[in-house]
Amino acid sequence: MENTITEDMIARARDGDMDAFERIYRAASGFVYNVALRITRHSSDAEDVTQEVFVKMHRNLKEFRLQSSCKTWLYRITVNSALSRCRRLTTEQGAMARYRNEVEVENSASPDAGEKQIGDRRRILDAMLSELEPDQRACLVMREMEGLAYAEIAEILRVPLNTVRSRLHRARKTLMAYARKEALV
Amino acid sequence: MKRTCDRTLTLINNGYLDGELGPAETAEVETHLRDCPACRETARQFSALELILRSVPRESPPENVWHGVKAAIAGHSRRLRAGKFVFALAAAAAVALMVIIPGLLEPQSAPLALPPSLASLSGLDEGRDLNVNFGSTIEQLLM
């Protein structure tokens, strides 16, 4: 998590202090948005997930007594919301059409060299992540981008530790095959 | 590929890359990597893969997301307050009905004045009040 959410912030937000809730949002919205973006692979879906997560969080503030429970809860709700959005995509053609539209929008902006490099990396990452099952993608995002330990991922997803191990194992095997084929490594 | 290579590659992709192996297994992998160029190359490729996965900078959600959150929370609070008002109104109405309905259901025992035509039919004096209950005395009177 980028910035710290303190127990004082949670207590004040629970008492209806919207400034305190905004500080919680500023501290945590970055990781919520990025996790959602990598799992759903679409910025509009990631925005919807982020909004949904913080509205749910506000309604459930009374549940959080400790900062750690808040962090786990945020990851869990984010991952679950993002995964359910992935499942809602009815056809892969529909998803691909949306992806192509987003790429076209990005390409039409004529970015400078630095932005282009980041854009290229983003497209490579997106193409790699699209090779994975959503469950594997969720595990990989939490491990590689969020740096969470296996035990933390298992707690967030409420799955056994060995399930996390095997999902990561399969995900990296798939990605390695793709990276070799595309001469990325 | 040797059996030890298979085992090493499995361990690399199943805990070693993430620092999740115990000390004995970590030492086993590192000893093998020192002696096996092919596995060393595969380990390098896995490290390159990790770099690709971590190379994209984090992004911030657009500001309109926070506005959406605030609006949704405000809308929910308004609905909650409206719901409480409707509940209070319903509770007040229920209490009022509980007070009024028993009063309406009580038997009528007030004196009933017969219309002059009925009084004359039954031979009673005009203008004299008669105590009757509905459904009993009045029916006998009219028979």
Phi-psi region of A158 (alpha: psi -120 to 50; beta: other; left: phi over 0): left
Is residue B118's pLDDT more than 90?
Answer: no
Q: Are B56 and A124 in contact (CB under 8 A)?
A: no
Chain B residues with CB within 8 Å of chain A CB: 10, 13-15, 17-18, 20, 45-46, 48-50, 52-62, 64-66, 68-70, 72-73, 76
Contacts of A173 in chain B (CB under 8 A): 13
What pLDDT is recorded for position A40?
A: 93
In the block, which residue shows the tokens 């004040």?
A12
Residue B116 or A123, more confident: A123
Among A70, A98, A47, which residue's Cα sits nearest to residue A1?
A: A70
Given the cut 0.85, state whether the ipTM is greater than it.
Answer: no
Question: Burial level of B8, CB count in 10 A (0-12/13-18/19+)?
Answer: buried
Q: Which amino acid is at B81?
A: R
Whether the predicted model's global pTM rises above the 0.80 cut:
no
How many C-alpha atoms does B80 have within 13 Å on its Cβ side? 7
CB under 8 Å to A136, separation ≥6 — which residues? A167, A168, A170, A171, A174
pLDDT tens, position by position, B2-27: 779 999 999 999 899 899 999 999 99
Please tell me the total number of residues recorded for chain B in this structure.
143
3-class SS at B130?
Answer: strand
CB under 8 Å to B66, separation ≥6 — which residues? A22, A25, A29
Residue of A nearest to B61 (CA): A33
- A166 min Cα distance to partner chain B (Å): 8
Nearest neighbour of B62 by CB, restricted to A47, A173, A176: A47
What pLDDT is recorded for position A4?
A: 84
Q: Residue B76 and residue A59: Cβ atoms within 8 Å? A: yes
Angle at A134 between CA B44 and CA B52, to 5 degrees: 25
Helices (H), B106-142: 116-122, 137-142
Report residue B36: phi and psi, to 5°.
Answer: -125, 100
- B95 min Cα distance to partner chain A (Å): 32
In angstroms, rounded to a whole number, what is the distance separating the alpha carbons of residues B14 and B12? Answer: 6
In angstroms, rounded to a whole number, what is the distance separating the alpha carbons of residues A171 and A110? Answer: 33
Q: Residue A121 and residue B18: Cβ atoms within 8 Å? A: no
Query: Which helix or strand (DSSP H or E) is residue B34 part of?
Result: helix B23-35
Please list the ranges in chain A whose pLDDT falls under 50.
90-91, 104-105
What pLDDT is recorded for position B93?
A: 83
Q: What percent of chain B has pLDDT over 70?
A: 66
What string of H, E and C letters represents the secondary structure of chain A? CCCCCCHHHHHHHHCCCHHHHHHHHHHHHHHHHHHHHHHHCCHHHHHHHHHHHHHHHHHCHHHCCCHHHHHHHHHHHHHHHHHHHHHHCCCHHHHHHHHHHHHHHHHCCCCCHHHHHHHHHHHHHHHHHCCCCHHHHHHHHHHHHCCCCHHHHHHHHCCCHHHHHHHHHHHHHHHHHHHHHCCCC
pLDDT tens, position by position, A51-84: 999 999 999 988 877 766 788 899 999 999 999 9
Q: Residue A149 and residue B14: Cβ atoms within 8 Å? A: no
Q: Are A146 and A51 in contact (CB under 8 A)?
A: no
Residue A178 or B91, more confident: A178
